[in-house]
């Protein structure tokens, strides 16, 4: 049966104290909304509807950035969760299948949990995701009898006996789409908040003879984010889980708590990550790579057998072939380094292509920006770039060519040639002593004047 996702993302998030919509605050370099959308995407949904409200244009832009096929609808007034889901009805006109309601500020629902809900839907009309809370607090309570879910009670409307229940409501619901919207049409707002609660559909459905049940998940999956402190908790949870997954898949993390990953970081088996490494978005590291300490990598691809760092920076567009060595205080941006290239010290390589086995000396800079345009540096195979070489792009250095240390190269260097571009050294005997004596005398006079 087909599946549709309805993701509620209309809230302002007052406790975030921010001009940014709550669901656009990031965990591991991606908006919370994307995490929720990715969880549901694993089900290969036929349709995804995002219900936006506060700063709807920003939410829509973010949702479409992740999934251009998503539909975004507006909840102009925030009148409760049932009212929010109702806004998706027209967008799903003609859809026949299961609808799952998710939340843009609840980013950690797992694929396995959602699949368990779909499986439960085969034998029940309504499926609710619940969790056993260590501290139930103000969560809504799930009132059950056996495997049947009788009703959901919001904390503010619950009596003492109901508040003693520890099985709590996550808010995630799965039902046939037509059934879901029919039940929502019957929801009223006669409650302590005067809102239309999505939770009321369980009691209404049961009164109509529909069956309902609960699928349980770990409490951590249902973590909702409503404040900066909770956002930090969510970041810690993501990082802890992802580090554990990588280590289980054969990646060595020397000091796991000091390595920070992006939501889309990919690292191959037998790679080793030293302490204090940060991964930004869009990074793929192949097998058997060593990332040394205090390196920062984003938007880069590192092939097997390479060594990066320590204190290296790979920026977007860095494409490193096998067995490349990038050393301390080397920065690579929008550059392709072919197999076996070495750049081990104090170097900037931007807007460049560097041939196999070429060695880049310490202090080399590709001078790629003229203040308006970026220009490309091309270096062939087996070249040797001497220390402190300035390569003023656009420029080409041929295969097997060499530049002398301290050169500023402004013209192409043919294959096999040596380029020397530096002023002739002159030695003035005794002049250093005269200059020092003169300067010291001036300093002494200034001191007496003070």
The one-character DSSP state at 286 is: -
d(CA 71, CA 195): 25
* Helix orientation angle between 177-185 and 200-207, rounded to the nearest 10 degrees: 100
Contact 283, 266 (CB under 8 A): yes
Instruction: Scan for tokens 């244009």, then name that residue.
Output: 57
d(CA 377, CA 350): 8
3-state secondary structure 415-431: CCCEECCCCCCCCCCCH
CB atoms within 10 A of CB 442: 10
Check if 29 is active-site: no
| Half-sphere exposure at residue 88, Cβ-oriented, CA atoms within 13 angstroms | 32
Residues 25, 83, 301, 345: which is the catalytic one?
345
d(CA 334, CA 341): 15
Contact 449, 433 (CB under 8 A): no
d(CA 149, CA 140): 13
Instruction: Scan for tokens 């508040």, then name that residue.
Output: 163
Contact 75, 53 (CB under 8 A): yes
| Dihedral sign for Cα atoms in the order 387, 392, 394, 397 | negative
Pick the closest to residue 250 from 286, 279, 200 (CA basis): 286
d(CA 98, CA 177): 5
Query: Chain-centre distance of CA 290, in angstroms?
Result: 22
What backbone torsions phi and psi does residue 220 show, to the nearest 5 degrees? -65, -25
> Could you list the active site residues?
345
């Amino acid at each position: 049966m087909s599946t549709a996702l309805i993701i509620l993302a209309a809230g302002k998030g007052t406790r975030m104290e921010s001009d940014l919509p709550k669901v656009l605050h990031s965990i591991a370099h991606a908006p919370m909304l994307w995490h929720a959308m990715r969880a549901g995407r694993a089900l290969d949904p036929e349709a995804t509807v995002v219900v936006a409200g506060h700063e709807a244009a920003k939410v829509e832009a973010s949702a479409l950035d992740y999934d251009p096929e998503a539909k975004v609808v507006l909840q102009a007034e925030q009148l409760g969760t049932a009212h929010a889901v109702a806004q998706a009805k027209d967008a799903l006109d003609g859809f026949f299948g299961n609808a799952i309601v998710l939340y843009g500020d609840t980013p950690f629902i797992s694929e396995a949990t959602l699949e368990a809900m779909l499986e439960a839907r085969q034998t029940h009309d309504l499926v609710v995701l619940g969790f056993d809370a260590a501290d139930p607090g103000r969560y809504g309570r799930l009132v059950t009898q056996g495997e049947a879910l009788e009703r959901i009670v919001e904390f503010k409307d619950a009596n003492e006996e109901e508040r003693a229940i520890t099985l709590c409501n996550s808010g995630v619901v799965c039902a046939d789409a037509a059934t879901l919207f029919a039940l929502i049409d019957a929801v009223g707002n006669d409650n302590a908040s005067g809102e239309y609660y999505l939770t009321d559909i369980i009691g209404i459905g049961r009164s109509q003879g529909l069956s309902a049940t609960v699928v349980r998940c770990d409490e951590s999956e249902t973590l909702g984010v409503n404040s900066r402190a909770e956002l930090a908790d969510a970041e810690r949870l993501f990082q802890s889980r992802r580090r554990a997954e990588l280590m289980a898949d054969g990646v060595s993390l020397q000091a796991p708590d000091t390595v920070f990953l992006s939501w889309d970081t990919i690292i191959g088996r037998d790679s080793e990550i030293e302490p204090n490494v940060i991964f930004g978005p869009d990074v793929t590291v192949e097998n058997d790579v060593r990332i040394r300490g205090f390196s920062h990598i984003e938007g880069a691809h590192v092939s097997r057998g390479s060594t990066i760092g320590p204190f290296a920076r790979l920026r977007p567009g860095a494409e490193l072939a096998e067995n490349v060595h990038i050393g301390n205080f080397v920065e690579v941006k929008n550059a392709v380094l072919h197999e076996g290239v070495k750049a081990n010290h104090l170097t900037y390589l931007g807007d460049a292509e560097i041939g196999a086995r070429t060695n880049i000396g310490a202090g080399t800079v590709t001078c790629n920006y003229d203040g308006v345009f970026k220009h490309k540096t091309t270096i062939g195979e087996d070249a040797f770039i001497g220390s402190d070489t300035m390569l003023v792009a656009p420029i080409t250095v041929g295969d097997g060519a060499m530049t002398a240390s301290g050169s500023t190269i402004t013209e192409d260097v043919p294959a096999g040639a040596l380029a020397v571009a530096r002023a002739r050294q002159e030695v003035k005997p005794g002049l250093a002593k005269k200059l020092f004596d003169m300067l010291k005398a001036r300093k002494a006079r200034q001191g007496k004047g003070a």
